[in-house]
């Protein structure tokens, strides 16, 4: 509720980012960290056609993913991660992505919980805090009343 997704969406759509990466991938994770489901979501961004079935095994899906990201620089946004208990699932999900030898690939995750940031653990988390009450009130009045100076 402090603007994590909004900030990442702004970055994701920036021209500089689009020019830097060959593939832009956005998946919403939420409370259900399902490796197969997330792999399918990633594949939907990577391939326009679907030569794979939802019934494919995780291994087959990851082979297809690995093949389609080879030699491509990608940005993967994992939005709204909640699950920190399944480190093994996180490692499985990233396995085909880590095999890509192109420098500059990036995985960016948003989360509400420090435990998820700690589980991901590739760098220090960046904590966003909300506006203080005075700044929020000024912002609210500017949005609600535009340029009118109403008390």
User: Pairing between strand 74-81 and 106-111?
Assistant: parallel
% residues pLDDT > 90 (the chain) = 30
Q: Model pTM?
A: 0.76
Q: Are 94 and 66 in contact (CB under 8 A)?
A: no
The DSSP line for 9-78 is HHHHT-HHHHHH-SEEEEEEEET---HHHHHHHHHHHH-SS--S-TTS-HHHHHHHHHHHHTT--EEEEE
Tens of pLDDT, residues 21-33: 999 999 998 777 8
Output 18 or 126, whichever has higher pLDDT.
18
Q: Which residues lie across from 109 on neighbouring strands?
A: 78
* pLDDT computed for residue 73 by the predictor: 95
Domains, the chain, ranges and CATH?
Answer: 4-145 (3.40.50)
pLDDT, tens digit, 9 for 90 and up, residues 93-142 = 888 988 888 898 988 888 877 777 777 766 666 666 777 888 878 877 88
Q: Which residue has the tokens 């095994």?
A: 57
pLDDT score at 3: 77
How many alpha carbons fall within 13 Å on the CB side of residue 72? 19
């Amino acid at each position: 509720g402090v603007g994590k997704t909004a900030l990442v969406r702004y970055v994701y759509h920036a021209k500089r980012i689009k020019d830097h990466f060959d593939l832009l991938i956005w998946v919403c994770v939420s409370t259900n960290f399902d490796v197969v489901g997330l792999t399918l979501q990633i594949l939907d961004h990577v391939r326009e056609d679907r030569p794979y079935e939802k019934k494919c095994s995780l291994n087959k899906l990851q082979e297809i993913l690995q093949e389609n990201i080879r030699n491509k620089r990608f940005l993967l946004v994992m939005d709204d991660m909640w699950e920190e208990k399944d480190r093994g699932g996180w490692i499985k999900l990233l396995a085909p992505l880590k095999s890509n030898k192109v420098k500059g690939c990036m995985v960016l995750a948003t989360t509400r919980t420090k435990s998820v940031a700690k589980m991901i653990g590739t760098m220090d988390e960046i904590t966003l805090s909300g506006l203080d009450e005075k700044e929020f009130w000024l912002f609210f009045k500017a949005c609600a009343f535009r340029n009118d100076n109403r008390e």
